[in-house]
Chain A
């Protein structure tokens, strides 16, 4: 009896998916706090970033947008039971995710070349690094989640669970995509 109940619980994914949504709210609040902090800081001291952000940030934005598309295609493949396609698109998403990560790091090194340091009397410039770093920490978590989903797609798990994993990954990944676009637009608006 109890064993059966536990089994029922195991396939009741709704609350767990809901947990992910609430986590997204917390994470949203974190970025809202950082950007509000930026506004308070730059408004109070009349500071702006005062540099043109490197082009590579633009490329990274394109890359993460593409990764959202591939992840969407992977989800669609999973729903229509074409698992080899699902795997392919998952791997593509992972590669694009890593590429995004690399491009962001490259942008940071570019910023340093431009003389925009993290340790900086103009904290508006330090904030750029904070935004990027906080977002990348989330990206690391998302990449791990993605890897776990890929692993799941290779093992023999029930389709319900496969779809659940896909959905969890999608929610998180698309959210991070949107957050990055928000941060990027925010930074662009505050360049000068």
Chain B
């Protein structure tokens, strides 16, 4: 069946080209410039970072569940960070900070976009590689460097940065403010500069490749939604990361040179500091101008991946393809004018708060369009519940349940109550944390055969899905109620507060749910590693999908396709088209080969094709009459 996919270009030109340049171990696996290898590098680094960040979260969950208990094992493992078997309060703050930083930037930005944009953009638009493979390689190595620097902060005397992943001044700007503001904070800043460099180089490449290197026939409206999502994500990154750089540069000046961009009227340890006239709110503006688009940088690739997977596994065209694209564009544009909703309680002018509230709530429109389209895609589909499909549906589920609470938080008045409570934690862990992770995992299960030439084990995939899905809800759902009751986030322990003590049992429950979900990831890790080496060999098009990447040979070659790059004739969602024998028609199949399933609307901008089609249809009709 899958050989059908390439019979058009089946003339294989396996010529001497390959022997010309011998890949050494270093040029193939380390300083590789091949987008497929770079994608794998991003994925494996991303997964490693995800496991590290997950472990950090389990550590602080243990503290929240058992604030009064000592675990001697912790001291053995963490040394001075857990004296007497209890987490040091400063280290707790570091854990929260680094967990957030790694998850948002290293896993869900680099790990997600880096992996799938790199893998899929050239393969799905029909290009030999990225616009600049060299820059692509640099992008990975800057990312790797950023990871190493970030993790190295665990080995400095005073521990890693601990002012929260948003690194607001003055905590982050005054090295003496807390232990985490010293060397740890410096390393955090250096790491982020490397990270932004990596992100920008990647993003520039993605945008350029999508716009310049599409194969013949691949106009913008024939691109899969994955590509649209990666493209718009890259646009967001390119426009917003420089603003973070500006904020960070000024922060570095305040930290190390004594300027007063963000600082004013500071008394530290009883000593009046010389800073005057600065405003920490300025940093918040600069940070959230990146920070808000950043959450869409995290979720949009997951949306694109889920759209593609849900269409393939429902054996139905995606519902509302154009609406999907326009809502992605809408989200992209709107995401730049909502950052103020993170700052409602900074003393912002209430009128301005109202403006940001309205723009924020408008984002619900494109988000809802997407959600309904996903549900409509599933509706009466011939659904195959592959692990990838389950994760894609899970993504939609989290996006809905997390998105609903966004409407509460986007409201400037309600936010006075809810700001900095567990309600916020619950909201964003569902809507961008879990949803984006599920999108990423869906992508891993779906494109694993493309990456490694083997299939992942489905049974372990199901186990992984259900434990993670249930676990994530058990972890984050109760947090809504804690937040409504006013329990603040980032606190070390709630034992000192009479009104919050009743939540201890819930915290214990949440911790055990978190441990369960963490263990479920071991099933994934085993499956992932085992399948790379010993998984079942895949066929060329294991999911009977339409997109171009499945026309490339399983065996990875430099340049992706032997011989010519296939030409594209149709959109990527011709699944279960009436009149066609198979339930999928690949993008590379011309309309002349599918006369029986062509419909008039296929030829909107193609009068010659339409004439052919009408002629064929009338012949068919007259034949019918003869019978």
Contacts and interface: CB of A to CB of B under 8 A. Distances in A.
Given A33-B289, A40-B285, A16 B131 contact: yes
Kindly name the residue among A6, A15, A45 whose own CB sees the greatest number of chain B CB atoms within 10 A: A15
A189 interface: no
Contact of B240 (A27, A29, A118, A127): A29
A29 B235 CA distance: 12
The SS class assigned to the A binding surface is helix
A34 B243 CA distance: 8
B258 A30 contact: no
Interface string B191-208: 000000000100111011
Interface residues of A, number: 39
A118 B259 CA distance: 7
A157 interface: no
A14 B13 contact: no
Contacts of B211: 18
Given A122-B277, A123-B278, A22 B207 contact: yes
A75 B242 CA distance: 30
Contacts of B286: 33, 36-37
Size band of the interface chain B makes with A:
35 or more
A32 B289 CA distance: 12
Interface in A2-44: 2-6, 9, 14-16, 18-19, 22-23, 25-27, 29-30, 32-34, 36-37, 40-41, 44
Given A29-B239, A41-B282, A5 B208 contact: no
Interface stretch (B14-22, B68-76, B460-468): B14-22
Given A3-B17, A5-B559, A29 B243 contact: yes
Contact of A120 (B213, B260, B282): B260
Given A40-B282, A118-B257, A119-B257, A19 B246 contact: no
A176 B241 CA distance: 20
A185 interface: no
Contacts of A14: 212
A130 B249 contact: yes
Kindly name the residue among B204, B211, B559 whose own CB sees the greatest number of chain A CB atoms within 10 A: B204
B525 interface: no
Contacts of A79: none
A134 B20 CA distance: 44
B128 interface: yes
Given A40-B285, A119-B258, A25 B238 contact: yes
A2 B259 contact: no
Kindly name the residue among B211, B213, B261, B275 whose own CB sees the greatest number of chain A CB atoms within 10 A: B261
A113 to B, nearest CB: 19
A2 B18 contact: yes
A85 interface: no
A22 B563 CA distance: 31
B279 interface: yes
A22 to B, nearest CB: 5
Nearest to A8: B128
Contacts of A191: none
Interface in B7-32: 13, 15-18, 20
Given A3-B17, A23-B204, A118-B257, A30 B135 contact: no
A48 to B, nearest CB: 12
B276 A37 contact: no
Contacts of B257: 118-119
A1 B257 CA distance: 57
B208 A22 contact: yes
A76 interface: no
A89 to B, nearest CB: 28
Contact of B204 (A26, A119, A121, A126): A26
Contacts of B212: 14-15, 18
Nearest to B289: A33
B190 interface: no
A41 B17 contact: no
B278 A19 contact: no
Kindly name the residue among A1, A6, A15, A33 whose own CB sees the greatest number of chain B CB atoms within 10 A: A33
A127 B260 CA distance: 10
B208 A2 contact: no
B277 A45 contact: yes
A33 B533 CA distance: 48
Kindly name the residue among A3, A37, A123 whose own CB sees the greatest number of chain B CB atoms within 10 A: A123
Contacts of B258: 119
B467 to A, nearest CB: 41
Interface in B99-126: none
B209 interface: yes
A41 B15 contact: no
A37 B246 contact: yes
Nearest to B246: A33
B208 A33 contact: no
Given A2-B559, A26-B241, A37-B285, 4 more contacts: A1-B17, A15-B212, A41-B282, A45-B279
27 contacts: A1-B13, A1-B15, A1-B17, A2-B559, A3-B17, A3-B20, A9-B128, A15-B132, A18-B207, A19-B131, A19-B205, A23-B200, A25-B238, A25-B239, A26-B200, A26-B204, A30-B242, A30-B246, A33-B242, A40-B282, A40-B285, A118-B253, A121-B260, A123-B259, A126-B253, A127-B261, A130-B253
Interface of A: 1-6, 9, 14-16, 18-19, 22-23, 25-27, 29-30, 32-34, 36-37, 40-41, 44-45, 47, 118-123, 126-127, 130, 134
